[in-house]
Amino acid sequence: MKACLNCGEEVIGREGKKFCTTYCKSNYHYERSKQKEDSIFRAVDKQLKLNRRILKNYNRAGKATVRAEVLANHGFNSNYFTHYWKSKKGDVYLFCYEYGFISFADMKGTRKYTLIKWQSHMSTTN
């Protein structure tokens, strides 16, 4: 005797059958897909919050420059950001909530980030 994977009722029918009804089969797969979506959402949200915490920690004065490897060692991933802002000079800053960053290489080729904090004069309509 096998139990339905969705409701636990007895499954009657061919060998290898996993669900008692088509409803249970559909509901089981629907619930599993929702869990997968939640896990993706949670992973992205977790990375965004980590990025924000790292940027906040290294940008206490409102503007700072930090080597990219220092941020990466703390788990920073520049592929995750909430929005961007384009300055009048054409530079594009990526933001994790109110903390922004832009990547550049210094004269020696060392990858660095300039960190900034969102200011009232910045708007998302630029």
What per-residue confidence (pLDDT) applies to 4? 95
- 10, part of any domain: no
What per-residue confidence (pLDDT) applies to 126? 47
What percent of the chain is modeled with pLDDT above 70? 96
What per-residue confidence (pLDDT) applies to 19? 96
Which range, of 15-19, 33-37, 53-57, 94-98, averages the lowest pLDDT? 33-37
Domain count, the chain: 1
- 33, part of any domain: yes
Can you tell me whether residue 107 is helix, strand or coil? coil
Tell me the average pLDDT of the chain: 92
Does the structure show a pLDDT above 80 at 124?
Answer: no
The whole-model pTM stands at: 0.69
- 4, part of any domain: no
For residue 93, what are the domain limits? 18-117
- 5, part of any domain: no
- 2, part of any domain: no
Apex 43 CA angle, 30 and 76, nearest 5: 165
- 3, part of any domain: no
Does the structure show a pLDDT above 90 at 47?
Answer: yes
- 105, part of any domain: yes
Spatial CB neighbours of 125, under 8 Å, sequence gap ≥ 6: none
CB of 64 within 8 A of CB of 55? no
What per-residue confidence (pLDDT) applies to 125? 53
- 8, part of any domain: no
Per-residue pLDDT band at 71 (split at 50, 70, 90) = very high
